[in-house]
Amino acid sequence: MMKRWLLVILGAVVATATWGAENFPPPEFTGGYQFPPMNVPPPRAAVFAYLDMAVLVAALGLASYFALRLRSRRHLFWLTLFSLGYFGFYRRGCVCPVGAIQNTAMALGVPGYTLPFVVGFFLLVPLLFALFAGRTFCAGVCPLGAAQEVVLLRPVRVPAWLEQPLSLIPFFYLGLAVLLAYLGSGFLICRYDPFVAFFRLGGTTGIVIFGVALLGLGTVVGRPYCRYLCPYGALLRLIAPLSKWQVKITPTECIKCHLCADACPYGAIKPPTPEEEPVRRREGKTRLGLLLLALPAMIALGAGLGWRVSGLLARVDPTVSLAERVWLQQQGLALGTTAASEAFYKQGRAYEELYAQAAGIRQRFAPATAALGGWVALVLGVRLIGLSLRRHRLEYEADPAACLACGRCYAACPVEHARVQGLPLELIGAGP
Amino acid sequence: MSDLSEKKTRREFLRDGLRAAGLLAFGGALGGVLSQGQEETVWQIDPEKCTQCGKCATECVLTPSAVKCVHQYALCGYCDLCFGFYKDQRVDDSTGAENQRCPTGALERSFVEEPYYQYVVNEPRCIGCGICVQGCQAYGNGSLYLQVRHDRCLNCNECRIAAACPAQAFVRVPAAKPYILKTKKAYG
C-alpha cells in the first residue's frame, strides 16, 4: 500500500517536471564517456517478403502445370518436397495461407490492426488459382500437405459413413477460428497447427504428440489434417468445383476399370452412377424439398444455441478468463493466484477497468457465437441437401472439391499409359 | 441423351457465372488489402506491461529465446551497487558469480570513472529470463528491460510467448519501428 502511494506521488512529480526523476539520476560524466548506442537489430528485410510471394506464385503455377498439363505425379512430388523445404523448414511455417485466414479476420474485427500485404496476398492468390486450376495449392505448395504426403505408405479407404461427417469438421473449425481471430482472442489455427513444431524443431509436448499421432495416422489414412481439419481446405473445397480446368483422369474414353479409384488415397474419385429407378428419384425430390424448407429453421436454431453458449466460449479470451479469475479471488471463491492474475496485481491496474473490458468482450461474443451457430447449421443443412442431390456420371470422375491433384490416378489409368506411350487405344478396349 | 447435354451446359453456365463472381470478389478483396497500406508488423514486448514472469525464456520456439535483455544506457544510474547485477542476498560485494543475479553471467560490469560502472548485456549469453530486469525495475531506474530481438525472432503468426504471456505484454508493432524505447521518467 505504501509503495502504491509512493508511486502516485512519483507520478505526480513526473507529470509536473519535464525531466524524469529516476531513483538514481543518470550521472554527469567528466571523463568524456559516451552512452553506447542501444543495439537494435532490424527485422527481416521487406525484400524477402517479396521473395516469398514470388516463390508462392511460381510454385502454384508449376503445381497447376504439373497436375493439369503434364499430368505427372513425379514432378508434383518433387515440387512437394521443395515446398516442404522452403515454406516448411526454411520459412518455418510462417507465412502460410492457412494462418492468413486469421490475420484477415482480425484486420476486419480488431481496430488498429491492418492486414500486411504479404499476408493478404498469401490468403488470396491460392484461392485465385483454385478458381482456375482447382486445389493445386494442396497438390504441391502447402507445407502441411507435403509433410503428410511424404509419410503416406499404405492408404486405406475411409468408409463413406465416416468420411461424410469428418469432412464437415474443417468448416466448423474455419468458423471458430474466424470468430476468435475477429474478436482478437487468439489465433486458434496457429496454436493447434500439428506440423509447425517439426518445422521449428520444437514445440509444446501436446502439439508434438498431436503432430506425431497425425503423421502416424497419415501412413494409412491419406492426409488426415487436409481432409478432416484444414480450414483453408474448407475454403478451397468451396471454390475448386468452380474451377475452369479440372483433373480429368482418362484422356479419352474411360474403360471403367476402377484402377484410378483404387489408387486415390483421398477417396476423391466417384464411380459412374448406375441407372436409377424413377421411384427413388421421386423420393429424393420430396426429401430435397423438405430439407430446403427446413434449412432456415435449422439456421435459426443454430444461431439461438450459439447465443446461449456464447458465455462459455468467451472464456477462451484471455481478458475474460483473467477477469473471471480476479473476480473469484476478490470474492474469496478461489484461493491462490494464477500467473495471469498475479501479473494483473503486479501491474496495479484498476479492477473496474478490467471488469469493464471483459464485459465489453463478452458483449461482442454473443452475436458472433450466434453467427457461428448459424454457420454450423448452414454447413450441416447444405451437406444434407448435397447428399440428396443425384449427379449423373458416365465415367470415373475426380470430385473437384475433394481432389488434391496429387496425380496418382494418372499413373494408375491404363488409358493414360496408352496415351503416354503412344499405343493404339484398341489394345485396352478404349479405342473407337 | 439430349437432356443430359442440356443439363451439362446449364451447369457449366452456372459455373462460369460463379467463377466470374469469384474473380470480382478476388479483385475487390485485393483492392481492400492494398488500400489498407502495406504495413508489416512484428512482435514486441511493452515494457510497461511486462512483469518478468520468466516465460519469455521458456515459451519461445527458439532455444535460447528470441527475447533478450536490452540496456537503455541513457536511463541507467551507472551505480556501483547495481541491483540488476548483484543478488539481493550475497556473500560480499565482490563480482564473483555467486553474487551475480544473472544465472548465465550475461551482464558484464566495467569501470567507467569514479564512482560509475557500466553494465553491458552479453547477448549471446542472455536467455531472456528477466531476472536482472526484476532487480533493476524494483530498486533501480529500469534501464534494463526485455525486448524481442529481431535478428533472432521468426515473427511467428501467433507468437508462442504472446499466447502464454500472463501480462498480455506482447504487442504487434510496425516493422519500421520494431523496438519500444522507454521514455525518461521515474520507474519505482
Q: What pLDDT band is residue A199 in, cutting at 50, 70 and 90?
A: very high
Residues 103 to 122 of B: which have CB under 8 A from any A CB?
112-113, 116, 118, 120
Residue B121 in any domain: the answer is yes
Minimal CA separation from A204 to chain B, in Å? 8
Residue A10's pLDDT is 47
Nearest CA in chain A to B82: A24
C-alpha cell at A335: 484461493
Q: Tell me: pLDDT of A430 over 60.
A: no
Where in A259-298 does DSSP place strands (E)?
A: 269-270
Residue A226 backbone zone (phi > 0: left; psi -120 to 50: alpha; other: beta): alpha
Residue A278's pLDDT is 58
| Cβ-nearest to A23 among B61, B62, B141 | B141
Q: Domain check: are B163 and B74 in the same one?
A: yes
Domain spans, chain A: 49-246, 278-388
Judge whether B3 is closer than 8 Å to chain A, CB to CB.
Answer: no
A20-24, A350-354, A421-425, B20-24: least confident range: A20-24
Residue B32's pLDDT is 87
| Mean pLDDT of the A127-154 span | 94
Q: Which residue has the cell 520456439?
A: B61
The answer to whether B121 and B107 are in contact (CB under 8 A) is: yes
Q: What are phi and psi of B112, to 5 degrees?
A: -105, -70
Q: A116: exposed, middle or buried (C-beta count within 10 Å: 0-12, 13-18, 19+)?
A: buried
Q: Cβ contact (<8 Å) for B167 and A346?
A: yes
Residue B106 three-state SS:
coil
CA distance A179 to A368: 7
Q: Cβ contact (<8 Å) for A114 and B76?
A: no
**A328 alpha carbon, distance to own chain's centre:** 35
| Cβ-nearest to B112 among A22, A23, A29 | A29
Residue B61 in any domain: the answer is yes
Q: How many CB atoms lie within 10 A of CB B139?
A: 17
- Domain assignment of residue B72, given as a range: 41-174
CA distance B129 to B154: 19
Q: Domain check: are B82 and B6 in the same one?
A: no
C-alpha cell at A178: 474466424
Query: B95: which residues sit within 8 A by CB, 6+ positions away?
Result: B85, B109
Residue B122 in any domain: the answer is yes
C-alpha angle B146/B147/B148, rounded to 5°?
Answer: 135
The torsion angle over the Cα atoms of residues A111, A113, A117 and A118, rounded to 10 degrees, is -140
Q: Which residues is B71 bridged to in the sheet?
A: B144
C-alpha angle B98/B104/B106, rounded to 5°?
Answer: 105
Q: Domain check: are B18 and B96 in the same one?
A: no
Residue A2's pLDDT is 47
Q: Cβ contact (<8 Å) for A94 and B157?
A: yes
Judge whether B153 is closer than 8 Å to chain A, CB to CB.
Answer: yes
Q: Which amino acid is at B173?
A: V
Contacts of B151 in chain A (CB under 8 A): 41-42
Q: Cβ contact (<8 Å) for A26 and B49?
A: no
Helices (H) and strands (E) in chain B, counts: 4, 6
Query: Which residue, among A407, A408, A405, A416, has the nearest Cα to A255 in the 3D structure?
Result: A416
Q: Tell me: pLDDT of A56 over 50.
A: yes
Q: Domain check: are B76 and B122 in the same one?
A: yes
The answer to whether A265 and A222 are in contact (CB under 8 A) is: yes
Residue A270 three-state SS:
strand
Residue A22's pLDDT is 62
Burial A238-275 (b: 16+ CB within 10 A, else e): ebbbbbeebbbbbbeebbebebbbebbbbbbbbeeeee
A265-279, A306-320, A329-343: least confident range: A265-279
C-alpha cell at A249: 483422369
Q: Domain check: are B71 and B160 in the same one?
A: yes
Contacts of A19 in chain B (CB under 8 A): 184
Q: Domain check: are B82 and B138 in the same one?
A: yes
C-alpha cell at A266: 483421398
Judge whether B139 is closer than 8 Å to chain A, CB to CB.
Answer: yes
Q: Domain check: are B23 and B77 in the same one?
A: no
Residue A429's pLDDT is 64
Query: Which residue, among A119, A104, A98, has the nearest Cα to A170 in the 3D structure?
Result: A98
Q: Domain check: are B29 and B119 in the same one?
A: no
C-alpha cell at A153: 505408405
Q: Domain check: are B118 and B136 in the same one?
A: yes
Q: Domain check: are B62 and B99 in the same one?
A: yes
CA atoms within 13 A on the CB side of A170: 23
Contacts of A25 in chain B (CB under 8 A): 77
Contacts of B29 in chain A (CB under 8 A): 120, 124
Judge whether B88 is closer than 8 Å to chain A, CB to CB.
Answer: no
Q: Tell me: pLDDT of A240 over 60.
A: yes
Q: Cβ contact (<8 Å) for B62 and A202?
A: yes
Q: Tell me: pLDDT of B6 over 80.
A: no
Could you tell me what percentage of chain B is helix, strand and coil, using 3-state DSSP and rounding each to the nearest 5?
Answer: 30, 20, 50
Percent of chain A residues topping a pLDDT of 90: 69
Contacts of B26 in chain A (CB under 8 A): 124, 127-128, 131
Residue B179 in any domain: the answer is no
Q: Domain check: are B113 and B133 in the same one?
A: yes
DSSP letters along A329-350, please? HHTTSS-S--HHHHHHHHHT--
Query: A349: which residues sit within 8 A by CB, 6+ positions away?
Result: none
Q: Which amino acid is at A211?
A: G
Split into its structural domains, chain B has a count of 2
Query: A286: which residues sit within 8 A by CB, 6+ positions away?
Result: none
Asked whether the ipTM of the predicted complex exceeds the cut of 0.90, the reply is: no
Residue A14's pLDDT is 41
Query: Which residue, among A217, A215, A219, A222, has the nearest Cα to A153 in the 3D structure?
Result: A219
Chain B interface, mutation test: which of A129, A242, A357, most B Cβ atoms within 10 Å?
A: A242
Q: How far is CA B174 from CA A2, A10, B154, B179, B181, in A?
A: 38, 31, 15, 9, 14
Q: Tell me: pLDDT of A193 over 90.
A: yes
Q: Cβ contact (<8 Å) for B186 and A120?
A: no
Q: Which residue has the cell 530486469?
A: B133
Q: Which residue has the cell 478451397?
A: A236
Residue B2's pLDDT is 44
Nearest CA in chain A to B122: A39
Residues 64 to 83 of B: which have CB under 8 A from any A CB?
70-79
Q: Tell me: pLDDT of B11 over 90.
A: no
Q: How many CB atoms lie within 10 A of CB A311?
A: 13
Contacts of A40 in chain B (CB under 8 A): 70, 178-179
Contacts of A92 in chain B (CB under 8 A): 61, 154, 156
The per-residue pLDDT for range B72-131, each reduced to its tens digit, is: 998 999 989 999 999 988 888 888 888 999 999 999 999 988 889 999 999 999 999 999
Q: Tell me: pLDDT of A19 over 60.
A: no
The answer to whether A38 and B156 are in contact (CB under 8 A) is: no
pTM for the full predicted model:
0.90
Residue B80 in any domain: the answer is yes
Q: Domain check: are B148 and B126 in the same one?
A: yes
Q: Which residue has the cell 478483396?
A: B29
Minimal CA separation from B176 to chain A, in Å? 8
Residue A427's pLDDT is 67
Q: How many CB atoms lie within 10 A of CB A49?
A: 20
The per-residue pLDDT for range A267-312, each reduced to its tens digit, is: 999 999 887 665 677 777 888 899 999 999 999 999 999 999 999 9
Interchain CB contacts (distance < 8 Å): A and B: 186
Q: How far is CA A237 from CA A161, A167, A226, A254, in A?
A: 19, 10, 11, 25
Q: Tell me: pLDDT of A8 over 80.
A: no
Q: What pLDDT band is residue A374 in, cutting at 50, 70 and 90?
A: very high
Whole-number average pLDDT of chain A: 89
Residue B187 in any domain: the answer is no
| Mean pLDDT of the A56-67 span | 96
Q: Which ranges constitute the DSSP H helices of B49-151? A: 55-59, 131-139
Q: Which amino acid is at A373?
A: G
Judge whether B2 is closer than 8 Å to chain A, CB to CB.
Answer: no
